[in-house]
Each structure stands twice: as C-alpha cells, then as structure tokens.
Amino acid sequence: MFLAPKPDKEEFREIILREKVSSQVHLIELHIDVEVIRYFTEKWGRKWVEPSLAKGKESQKEVLKNYLECWYRLGYDYVRLTSDFRFSAGLSFISSKREGEDTALLSRGTRHWVEEGKGVISSWEDFENYHWPSPEEMDLWPLEFVSQNLPEGMGILVVFSPGVFEVLSNELFGLETFSYLLYDDPHLVEAVANKVGELIYRAYERVVGLDNLLGFFQGDDMGFKKGTLISPEALRKYILPWHKKFAQLAHSHGLLYLLHNCGYCEPIMEDLIEEVKIDGKHSFEDEIMPVTEFKEKYGDRIAVLGGVDVDKLCRLNEEQLRQYVRDILEKCVPGGGYLLGSGNSITNYMPIENYLIMLDEGAKYGRS
C-alpha cells in the first residue's frame, strides 16, 4: 500500500512555513492512541512492551523504539512524544478524574474523563498548598534517546503537558469552577494561569538545543462547537499571552510553533495569527468549519494541518472515504502549506482500515 518511508524534516518545515510547494503529501498527527501503536507493532512482528508497565529505563527504551518505528513506518517526518510515551520528560498536574468503561474497537478497558465540576483548586488556599511540578526536575533522557535513534530525515516535535487553558479547565479548576472564578476571583485565575504558563515555558526552555528538534506542537482546546469555552476577552487576557511567549521562544531558536485547538475559535483566529503568530493550526471538524473552508480563508497566512473529520474516518465506507479525502487534497494541497491528517487524532475507536485509507490516498495523490 505504501512507498518505502522517506522522511524529510526539512521539506516538512518548509511546507509549514509556506516556503515550498511539494508534489509529495506530508503527514501530521497530534496523537496516535497507544492501542493503535500496539496494533501496528504486533502486526509487524515486534515485541510489544506496555508503556504503563515499563518501569525501568531499559524497558522504556524498548517502548520508545516501538513508538518511533510506528511513526516512521507509517510515513511521518517527525515523532511527537505524548503522555503515554514521555515517561520522565513531562509535566504532570495532579487532578481529579472520572472513570468509565472504554467501549472502543481497541479498548483499553477503562477511559478517564475530566472533572467538569469542582477540581483540585477553587481557593487561594488550594493554590498555595498545591504541589506544582518542576520543569527542572524533569529527566529528558527519553527525548535525548529518541533524538539519537531517529531514522535519517526524521525530526521531533515536543510537548510537555496540555496547554494553559486545558490545565486550568481540565486539570485544576474544572470548567464549572473556572467559569465562576472568572467573575468571583479573577485574580486567582490570573495567578494560576501565570503559574501554569511559567512552568510550561520553563520546560520548553530546557529543550531548545535538542538535536533534530523541529519545534513545539502544543495542544490547547478552547472551543465548543458554536463558540469559545470562555469569552474571547478572557482568553486574550489569561491564555493567549502565554501562547505568544511559547511562540516567541520557538521562533527565537528557529523552531516551529504549532497549535492544536479544538472547537469554534473564529473570534480569536486573528489573535492567533497576528498576535500569537502560530505557524500552523491543527484540529478541524466539519460541523464547525471544514478544513477546505479554513484553507481558503487562512491558508495564505498560516499552515493548515490535518482536517480529515474523525467522525467520517469512523463511519464512511471505503468508496465514500476515499472520495472525501481526495476532495480535501485537491482543495488544500495546491498553493502549499497543507499537511494531511485526521481532524484530531488517531483514536482506538477508529477502524484501522479507514486510517490506512487516508494514508493511502495521501501517498497516491503525489503520484497521480
């Protein structure tokens, strides 16, 4: 189905910066679920090591080798270490979670959901007593190991935690408490936002000299289907200034700053492009704004990343899905600045064959 992998991190970067138009379709994903990584690892006859059970460094190295092999063989120009695979190279915020049964095709048994009501911080006393993670105590050996073992032509995109908004909303306050605090105690919101932003910034500072580093690929979901999760004014005051600082840090070292941002965020798109200066926007849903429409509206100013709607990746039959992906490619590839991928991530409830159809259409497009 696929050509032999030929990663080209330099061309990947040039396409994102709209410096080059390539006949080859390059790929992007925020995340590939661990169950999907396991599926391919075992399909290729490699020994699977469960990340959550890999306690020693040697077993963790085997996990990282499988992870890297998967991204490479599927045709990506980079690897992005997400929470299941970061081990000691990440910021972990203590939070409360809800649990439920995972009914996905490749089930993990139990799925965790964010606490939307009252989180672990709702007062100044909670803030002062909270045990904050330390960027300086992170052991970055997983990133260094991957950097040293990359196939020729591959790079790394890094992330250390969810974004400032997600940490506040999902990990610390809970969206309901967050919403109340914006009016009841905005100074507490500001203090927590600045604390979280500072920690993420210091984490990014530690890796700017990493070999083969392409940039930062930060996730921060700020929208519902019909509007932003909090007011655009509040996002501009508490959240976007930190994204601007992350982008400035990246750009000052010749690195990319890519943003994954779910939901309807039209009210802040100009801020993200002109003030924050993101290099590319990831995460699209057809019900909110199809990627083809976004490309037409913003594609001459920033890179457009992914956009194959996850619901369609799950539900369409092969003929429908191939035509749908071709339509996206035909409208988004011309003019450059587009990378093919899902509208969100490769989930454990997505049929593997549909994921492969998307990749196959990308491979065929450049040869047609």
Span 9-45, pLDDT tens digits:
999 999 999 999 887 899 999 999 999 999 999 999 9
**Residues facing residue 280 across a β-bridge:** 258, 303
**Contacts of residue 194, Cβ cutoff 8 Å, sequence gap at least 6:** none
**Residues facing residue 240 across a β-bridge:** none
For 47-60, the pLDDT digits (tens) are 999 988 888 999 99
* Nearest-angstrom CA–CA distance, 182 and 177: 9
Is this structure's pTM higher than 0.85? yes
Q: Is domain 9-365 given the CATH code 3.60.15.10 in the classification?
A: no
Domain ranges in the chain? 9-365
* Nearest-angstrom CA–CA distance, 107 and 140: 30
With b for 16 or more beta-carbon neighbours within 10 A and e for fewer, the 332-353 pattern comes to: bbeebbbbbbbbbbbbbebebe
CA 325 to chain centre: 21
Q: Which of 26-30, 80-84, 136-140, 249-253 has the lowest mean pLDDT?
A: 80-84
Structure tokens at 286: 């057809």
Is a pLDDT exceeding 80 seen at residue 112? no
